Chain A
Amino acid sequence: MSTTAAAIRATPLAPAASAPADYVAVDRVRKVYGAGTRQQVEAVATSTFTIKAGEFVALLGPSGCGKSTLLMMIAGLDTPSGGSIAVAGRPLAAPRAQTGIMFQDPTLLPWKTALDNVLFPFQVASRPAIDGTRVRAMALLDRVGLEGFHHHKPGQLSGGMRQRVAICRALVYEPDLLLMDEPFSALDAITRDEMNLVLMKMWEEEQNRTALFVTHSIREAVYLADRVLVMSRRPGRIIEDIQIPFARPRGLEIGETVEFNRICGHLRSKIDHRAH
Chain B
Amino acid sequence: MLAVAVDRLRPIVLPTAFGAGLLLLWQATVVVFDYPKVILPAPSDIALALHADLPVIWQQAIPTVRDTLAGFALATVLGVGLASLLSFSRLLRDALYPLIVVIQLVPKIAWTPLFIVWVGIGWQSRLTVATFIAFFPIFIAMMAGLEATDRSLVRLCRGLTATPGRTFWLVRLPASMPYLFSGLKIAITLAVIGVIVAEFISSSEGLGFLILKSAALLRTDLILAAIAVLCVIGLASYGLVHAGELAVRRWQGG
Q: Are A and B associated in one complex?
A: yes
Other-chain residue from B153, B161, B166, B251 in contact with A107 (beta carbon distance below 8 A): B153
Are B160 and A153 touching (Cβ within 8 A)?
no
Q: Is the CB of B161 within 8 A of A127?
A: yes
Does A190 belong to the interface (CB within 8 Å)? no
B166 touches A124 (CB 8 A): yes
Segment at the B interface, from A18-26, A91-99, A231-239: A91-99
From A105, A113, A125, A154, B162 is in contact (CB under 8 Å) with: A125
Contact across chains for B152 and A103 when beta carbons are under 8 A apart: yes
Measured CA separation A215–B95 after assembly (Å):
43
Q: Is A207 an interface residue (CB 8 A)?
A: no
Q: How close is B171's CB to chain A, nearest CB, in angstroms?
A: 7
The answer to the question of A109 belonging to the interface, with a C-beta cut-off of 8 Å to chain B, is yes
Whether B161 contacts A153 by the Cβ 8 Å rule is no
Instruction: Check: B253 CB closer than 8 A to any chain A CB.
Output: yes
Interface centre among B155, B159, B251, B252 (most CB of A within 10 A): B159
CA distance A95 to B158 in the complex (A): 7
Contact with A along B164-193 (1 / 0, CB 8 A): 001100110010000000000000000000
Q: How far is the CA of A86 from the CA of B96 in the complex (A)?
A: 41
Q: Knowing A123-B170, A124-B167, A124-B170 touch, does A111 contact B162 (C-beta < 8 A)?
A: no
CB of B52, distance to nearest CB on chain A (Å): 51
B162 lies within 8 A of A101 (CB): no
Which B residue sits closest to A111, measured CB to CB?
B252
Cα(A103)–Cα(B251), bound, Å: 26
Chain A residue at minimum C-beta to C-beta distance from B154: A107
Task: List A contacts of B155 (CB < 8 A).
Answer: 77, 103, 107
Using known A-B contacts A77-B158, A153-B254, determine if residue A125 contacts B163 with beta carbons closer than 8 Å: yes
Cβ of A109 and Cβ of B171 under 8 Å apart? Answer: yes
Closest residue of chain A to B163 (Cβ to Cβ) is: A125
Q: Are B161 and A97 closer than 8 Å at their CB atoms? A: yes
Evaluate contact between A125 and B252: CB separation under 8 angstroms: no
Contact of B159 with A77 in the complex, beta carbons under 8 Å? yes
Q: Give A107 to B155 CA distance when docked, in angstroms.
A: 9
**Assembly CA distance A97 to B162 (angstroms):** 9
Instruction: Give chain A nearest CB distance to B222 CB in angstroms.
Output: 48
Q: Does A255 contact B (CB under 8 A)?
A: no
- Whether A149 is near chain B, meaning CB under 8 Å from some CB there, is no
List chain B residues, Cβ under 8 A from A195.
none
| Known interface pairs A107-B150, A109-B171, A153-B253; 11 further A-B residue pairs with C-beta atoms within 8 A, sorted by A's residue number | A76-B159, A77-B158, A103-B155, A105-B152, A109-B170, A111-B253, A121-B160, A125-B161, A153-B254, A155-B254, A156-B254
Residue ranges of B at the interface with A (Cβ–Cβ < 8 Å): 150, 152-153, 155-163, 166-167, 170-171, 174, 251-254
Residues of A at the B interface (CB closer than 8 Å) are 75-77, 94-97, 99, 101, 103, 105, 107, 109-111, 113, 120-121, 123-125, 127, 153-156
